[in-house]
Amino acid sequence: MTPRVLISDKLSPAAVAIFKERGVEVDVKPGLDKDELARIIGEYDGLAIRSATKVTAKLLEQAKKLKVVGRAGIGVDNVDIPAATGRGIIVMNTPFGNSITTAEHAIALMFALARQIPAADASTQAGKWEKNRFMGVELTGKTLGVIGCGNIGSIAAARGIGLKMRVVAYDPFLSAERAGEIGVEKVELNDLLARADFITLHTPLTAQTKNILSAENLARTKKGVRIVNCARGGLVDEAALRAALDGGHVAGAAFDVFVEEPAAANPLFGHSNFIATPHLGASTSEAQENVALQVAEQMSDYLIRGAITNAVNFPSITAEEAPKLKPFIALAEGLGSFAGQLTQAPIDKVTITYEGAVADLKIKALTSAAIAGLLRPSLVDVNVVSAPSLAAHRGIVIEEMTRAAEGDYESFITLSVATADQTRSIGGTVFHDGKPRILAIKGIKVDAEFTPSMIYVTNDDKPGFIGRFASVLGDAGVNIATFALGRDEPGGSAIALVSIDGEAPPQVLDKVGKLKGVRQATALHF
């Protein structure tokens, strides 16, 4: 039977042509209300969208035939991914189709700020001729600070270098080697804030990056700085920025994204040194064409041949490989997530060793899953397909090794993460019940399942620690589900990996961290 795809948002006609060329029947119905979409969605195998269509769990309940949702663009905030995954629906995006366009928009806003173009245009068209009012600044010779130097950030940095600017970059995942390749100076955030004449943000919104330009960090910036945000609303404290503009510490700001969108009102609106655009970062004819072509090709390949590309919720594997591979994918992603949640320094190298029977499986899919888990704590949009490319953009070397089984297990995976200061390793396997287990951390033997909420502690192996630790949790009403312990030698280094019911309150972690002999106490989520 010929697969059918519904395009429910405005896409380039070229996308329709590709679907038809590949043997896919396509209906174009942009602007459907949610009730009408829910009424007809059950007729389709694929749904191609942009940002307007909301793919909710309620809508998916009606999508009895749906196999794939394709987002023409990077963000999938409008798709309920867990609900789609639960129904076996692949969710694809096009992560790199609008990178150049977004970077160019940031550069355009920098020029607009430097020469006060919007205000000068309005003044001139009002019949005024205020040459003295609009004294600008040159970009040449200025320092551009790039916060987030991944795909888009590195393009913006290259444009800045082309404008004869000095470019400094802050990105925890940017290696010194990669920084050298793209011609930027890798710095810490405080150094960037103190030196930059212009700051442009190109990082996803995560718990670590929310309000990365807070009131405190804005106060650390160079007086007269100009700030551009074409990445995500919420990276800058908007009220604090308004105060910095009012006080004259920040000379100007230009935003394409806002905490609340559509932005009918905002603390920044109305300031004479603020420029706003309505989320136009990806709005060029070239970018729209690129993402439309990509999503049509990807969806057609999946519906006709079963190939999976740029899926945000599933690895690139065949139906025949899935049964054996899936539990090891879960293991690899869990090992990566464990290391990623504990690693704050820039990562230089990741080594993944596959021992025994697992070495005969499709290890590229396993490696992708491990790297996705490793990067996901800092990069929201990472998936098992895009993870290796994102790692490469940051100069992270990925090494795979295979060898015959050397220990007690038929299959074993070890993931090692190297930074400038240390190497952290974690290993595990899949037992016959299909559940992944952690069996070694930093060479210390343990035995623990991955659970939604865990506490990881490293400490000196001294009497009384377990009792003190358990008492802190008990006094706070935190229930222990499982308790895994290990040590390298009597009286040496020890670890505890504890599964708990619910979240670990920050104050509890703080108390655990202050216990005698504790070196580290970290909450982990899987």
Indicate the class that CATH gives domain 451-526.
alpha beta
Please report where in the chains the tokens 């394409």 appear, as a residue: 256
Q: What is the pLDDT along the chain (526 residues), one digit of tens a residue?
A: 899 999 999 998 989 999 999 999 999 999 999 999 999 999 999 999 998 999 999 999 999 999 999 999 887 889 998 888 767 788 999 887 888 999 999 999 999 999 999 999 999 999 999 998 999 999 999 999 999 998 899 999 999 999 999 999 999 889 889 999 999 999 999 999 999 999 999 998 888 899 999 999 999 999 999 999 999 999 999 999 999 999 999 999 999 999 999 999 999 999 999 999 999 988 888 888 889 999 999 999 889 887 788 888 776 565 566 678 889 999 999 999 999 999 888 899 999 999 999 999 888 889 989 998 999 888 766 767 567 777 887 889 999 999 988 878 999 999 999 998 889 899 999 998 889 999 999 989 999 999 999 999 999 999 998 999 999 999 999 999 999 999 989 989 999 999 999 888 889 999 999 999 999 999 999 9
**Residue 232 bears catalytic tag:** yes
Q: Which two tokens stand for residue 46?
A: 């694929």
Q: Give me the helices (H) in 24-126, please.
A: 34-40, 57-61, 81-86, 99-115, 117-125
Same fold for the pair 4-97+286-313 and 99-276: yes
The pLDDT of residue 501 is 93
CA 511/CA 526 separation, integer angstroms: 23
Q: Which two three-digit tokens encode residue 115? A: 């020469």
Nearest to 230, CA basis, from 280, 188, 184? 280
Q: How far apart, in whole angstroms, are the C-alpha atoms of residue 429 and residue 42? A: 40
Report the C-alpha gap between 333 and 352 in whole angstroms. Answer: 12
Residue 381: per-residue pLDDT: 61
Q: Helix 506-513 and helix 465-475: axis angle, to 10°?
A: 160
Q: For residue 507, how many C-alpha atoms fall within 13 Å in the half-sphere facing its CB? A: 4
Specify the fold of 4-97+286-313.
Answer: Rossmann fold (3.40.50)
In CATH, what is the architecture of 99-276?
3-Layer(aba) Sandwich (3.40)
DSSP label at residue 320: T
Q: Is 525 among the catalytic positions? A: no
Given this model, what pLDDT does residue 385 score?
Answer: 56
For residue 129, the model assigns a pLDDT of: 95
| Fold for the domain defined by 315-449 | 60s Ribosomal Protein L30; Chain: A; (3.30.1330)
- Which single residue is written with the structure tokens 């001139």? 124
Please count the other Cβ atoms lying within 10 Å of the Cβ belonging to residue 121. Answer: 12
159 is catalytic: no
Residue 3 is which amino acid?
Answer: P
CA pair distance 145, 152, nearest whole angstrom: 14
Determine which one of 61, 216, 261, 503 is catalytic.
261
Q: How far apart are CA 208 and CA 17, in angstroms?
A: 42
Catalytic residue among 105, 159, 232, 394: 232
Asked if 13 and 21 touch (Cβ cutoff 8 Å), the reply is no
Sign of torsion, CA 286 289 295 300?
negative
Domains of the chain by residue range = 4-97+286-313, 99-276, 315-449, 451-526
Closest CA to 240 of 264, 212, 265: 212
pLDDT for 315? 64
14-48 core/surface letters (b: 16 or more CB in 10 A; e: else): ebbebbeebebebebeeebeeeebbeebeebbbbb
Helix (H) or strand (E) holding 129: none
Q: Which of 105, 159, 178, 279 is catalytic?
A: 279
The order of strands in the sheet holding 25-28 is: 25-28, 4-7, 46-49, 68-71, 90-92
CA distance 38 to 129: 56
Q: What are 239's two structure tokens?
A: 């009220």
Please give the single-letter amino acid code of residue 30: P
Give residue for tokens 């899987």: 526
Reduced to 3 states (helix: H, G, I; strand: E, B; else coil), residue 316 is coil
Place of tokens 């703080």: 510
CA distance 335 to 370: 7
* Per-residue pLDDT at 321: 66
Scored b (16 or more CB within 10 A) or e, 433-464 reads eeebbbbbbbebebebbbbebbbbbbbebeee
Tokens representing residue 246 in the block: 């009012």
Provide the token pair at 2.
Answer: 């010929």
- Yes or no: say if 213 and 232 are a contact pair by the CB < 8 Å rule: no
Going by DSSP bridges, is the β-strand pair 25-28/480-487 parallel, antiparallel, or unpaired? unpaired
